[in-house]
Structure 1
Amino acid sequence: MADPRLIRKTTILAKLETQYGLDAAPTGAANALLVSNLSVNPMNAEYISREIIRDYLGGSEELAGARYMECGFDIELVGSGQNAVAPAWGPLMRSIGFAEVITPAVRVDYVPISGAFESSTIYYYDDGVLHKLLGVRGTATLDLGVGKKPVISFKFMGVDGGTTAVPNVGTTLTVWRVPQVVLDANSGKLTFGATHAAAAAPAFVGGTPYPSDGLTIDLGIKAQFQKLLGGERISISERDVTGAAKLQLSAAEEVAFLNDIKANRLTSIGLIHGTVANDKVGVFMPAVQMKEPTKEELNGERLIGYKLGIKPKVGNDEIRIFTSFA
């Protein structure tokens, strides 16, 4: 009797493709991911009933039609440990419709784009079974909630590249850094109304900081499987970034925020997390619509919750994720 297969014996590799859907052949030495919270759907398929007419009762078998694969996992949100050097999770951001912009001696930015999308190949080893996903694209959410480790949760779709029974490969994970928990000492307050110097040091200029329970963001990228003959692919067609936060406000501040909501005023929001040079990560959103205020409670104290509509200001700038700075 064979030993049972173990979930912990899972290995994920990802590498950017040079041509859409062409197997990039990621390796355990160069392209291994450090992940948690794994999921995989090895065959998401349409099933077409034959609907055969017969002189007895009973359903007809179904034919497996157009199919694709899905996988998901969490990545710890932390820099590369080297100034202006892209982190190991950079290829994943580039596979969900973001461009990687490196400013030498300053930092690495990930900014949204609206065309010329890149893709990756993912190898998902599940204790002896290899699932290959080609032409991979998808979406992600960010969780910078207080008391948690900072993570990006990716959800990917890929063209079916085949499934085989092979041993897991060895991996090298030394490039992955250890994150800091989202706490007051490591993250500080959310800053509203600031500006951000795009080509200079990653600091916010001006603005007002407020105590909060952190920040969650849904990048809202719409990726779909296109079942075209000779053109099967995962296509990115839309992006609608949203978020949420809870703030500790004075009575006057709550009223001021409510008046801004009624007047449809936009504000910027920024957060820098981390105290270790080149492991830090920042998020900046220049045009945020706060809406749907709710009365929240934290150990008997009043918080005010807001949903966030994160909008582009001039285009492809609604959110900037930056990292690997001093």
Structure 2
Amino acid sequence: MSMMWELQALLAKIETTYGVDSAPAPANAVLGQNVKFTPMEATEVTRQHTRPIQGARPSVLVGKMTKITFEVEAKGSGTAGTPPGYAVFLRSCKCAEVVVAGASVTYNPISRNHESSSIYFYLDGTLFKMLGCRGTWKYKLTAEGIVVIEFTMTGLFTQPSDAALPTPTYGTQLSLVPQVATTENTPTFSIGAFTAAVLRSFTFDAGCDVKRRGLIRRTQIIITGSDERCEFQIEMELLATFNPFALAAAGTPTAVTLVHGVGAGQVVTLTQPNLQILNPGDLQQQDNVAEYALRGKALPGSTGNDQFTLAFT
């Protein structure tokens, strides 16, 4: 019997106790896309016993883990103050969730007490369970395209099993149509006082350093740190209007804000209060129009854990 790749379901739920299956149900379904899945990744330890012959040696698999990469549409829930359907993954990528009822949901990085999740990935008639999952993410915007967040999650390996596909409940994840990145739908992109940048593309990388740590009596997926970075491509302007070389040379952080979405419950605001512009890349051109390819580091401020905020309003 052939297994059909497009017959998939992705469920996820925050764990109360690390590595203990939180049993995500169809109501915990996440509308993912462009899935890449590694069912088992491990290190091969070769047995080195002496023997009177030559040939391949048997190995033992250690450090087994599972990885999944997928995208979600970067949009709100449609109701201000209600977390988006993929909030479980932001929380599992060392983000705190702050909910203001009826108004907003905001995520910011934290340095301790990182949450974890259980992920169920169904592929046709097979269920792959990932426990103790943590990961990292990228926010990706391209002009006239659907804005997405790409998650890469790593979990402890468990043996897969045969299981029927569930009937997921997606709610507004499916019914709420994403707003493509246009002038009307992306009203704000600012670099310090420069608010008139003509934006082609933007990527924010949370840069979480995810590792499997296996010791006796404790095996975990941990996030050891992060290196938040940003890349964006804008039309070249007169230096009197915007001078990225002066910003890079000075090394002085500047605030960068990107607002996408229009309407209550559909606005997503990514703010980096202290972005240090790094060495600008090669000049680009599209349609014979000169463009800058810029990049920077999102630095912590004086209080820390404030490299960015991702707010849904």
TM-score normalised by the shorter chain: which range applies?
over 0.9
Q: 1: CA distance between counterparts of 2:42 and 2:216?
A: 16
In structure 1, what is the equivalent of residue 25 of structure 2? 27
Secondary structure at the counterpart of residue 162 of structure 1: coil
In structure 2, what is the equivalent of residue 297 of structure 1? 285
From the superposition, tell whether residues 254 and 227 of structure 1 become closer, same or farther in structure 2 (CA, over 3 Å): farther
Indicate if the aligned counterparts of 1:290 and 1:306 stay in contact, CA closer than 8 A.
Answer: yes
Q: Deviations over 1:230-256 (max 9, x none)?
A: 110001111110111112232224773
Q: Deviations over 1:51-93 (max 9, x none)?
A: 2322222111111222111111101110011111111111110
From the superposition, tell whether residues 255 and 9 of structure 1 become closer, same or farther in structure 2 (CA, over 3 Å): closer
Asked if residue 319 in structure 1 is aligned to residue 308 in structure 2, the reply is yes
Indicate if the aligned counterparts of 2:79 and 2:102 stay in contact, CA closer than 8 A.
Answer: no
For residues 131-142 of structure 1, the aligned pairs below 5 Å read: 131-142=128-139
- Mean Cα deviation higher: 217-226 or 45-54: 45-54
Q: 1: CA distance between counterparts of 2:292 and 2:45?
A: 50
In structure 2, what is the equivalent of residue 18 of structure 1? 16
From the superposition, tell whether residues 124 and 255 of structure 1 become closer, same or farther in structure 2 (CA, over 3 Å): closer
Secondary structure at the counterpart of residue 19 of structure 1: coil
Of the candidates 36, 47, 50, which is equivalent to residue 50 of structure 1?
47
For residues 1-326 of structure 1, the aligned pairs below 5 Å read: 2=1, 4-28=2-26, 30-176=27-173, 177-193=176-192, 208-253=195-240, 256-293=243-280, 294-314=282-302, 315-323=304-312, 325=313
Indicate if the aligned counterparts of 2:80 and 2:104 stay in contact, CA closer than 8 A.
Answer: yes
- Deviation >6 Å, runs of 4+: none
Q: 2: CA distance between counterparts of 1:160 and 1:240?
A: 26
In the superposition, the TM-score normalised over structure 2's length comes to: 0.95
Amino acid in the other structure paired with 2:292: I
Structure 2 stretches lacking a partner, 5+ long? none
Indicate if the aligned counterparts of 1:189 and 1:210 stay in contact, CA closer than 8 A.
Answer: no
Q: 1: CA distance between counterparts of 2:13 and 2:158?
A: 14
In the superposition, the TM-score normalised over structure 1's length comes to: 0.91
Q: 2: CA distance between counterparts of 1:275 and 1:55?
A: 73
From the superposition, tell whether residues 188 and 253 of structure 1 become closer, same or farther in structure 2 (CA, over 3 Å): farther
**How many angstroms does 1:290 deviate by?**
0.9
- Mean Cα deviation higher: 174-183 or 108-117: 174-183
Indicate if the aligned counterparts of 1:42 and 1:69 stay in contact, CA closer than 8 A.
Answer: yes
Amino acid in the other structure paired with 2:138: T
- Mean Cα deviation higher: 98-107 or 232-241: 98-107
Q: 2: CA distance between counterparts of 1:154 and 1:253?
A: 39
Indicate if the aligned counterparts of 1:51 and 1:59 stay in contact, CA closer than 8 A.
Answer: no
Secondary structure at the counterpart of residue 258 of structure 1: helix
Q: 1: CA distance between counterparts of 2:240 and 2:170?
A: 46
Q: 1: CA distance between counterparts of 2:67 and 2:240?
A: 44
In structure 2, what is the equivalent of residue 197 of structure 1? none
Report percent identity of matched pairs: 28
Q: 1: CA distance between counterparts of 2:70 and 2:234?
A: 29
Q: 1: CA distance between counterparts of 2:104 and 2:310?
A: 10
Q: Deviations over 1:166-209 (max 9, x none)?
A: 11111111231321111122103421226xxxxxxxxxxxx633
Q: 1: CA distance between counterparts of 2:105 and 2:66?
A: 31
Indicate if the aligned counterparts of 2:63 and 2:212 stay in contact, CA closer than 8 A.
Answer: no
Q: 2: CA distance between counterparts of 1:15 and 1:7?
A: 23
In structure 2, what is the equivalent of residue 203 of structure 1? none
Secondary structure at the counterpart of residue 230 of structure 2: strand
From the superposition, tell whether residues 51 and 6 of structure 1 become closer, same or farther in structure 2 (CA, over 3 Å): same
**How many angstroms does 1:146 deviate by?**
1.2
Indicate if the aligned counterparts of 1:45 and 1:66 stay in contact, CA closer than 8 A.
Answer: yes
Q: 1: CA distance between counterparts of 2:241 and 2:291?
A: 10
Indicate if the aligned counterparts of 1:192 and 1:270 stay in contact, CA closer than 8 A.
Answer: yes
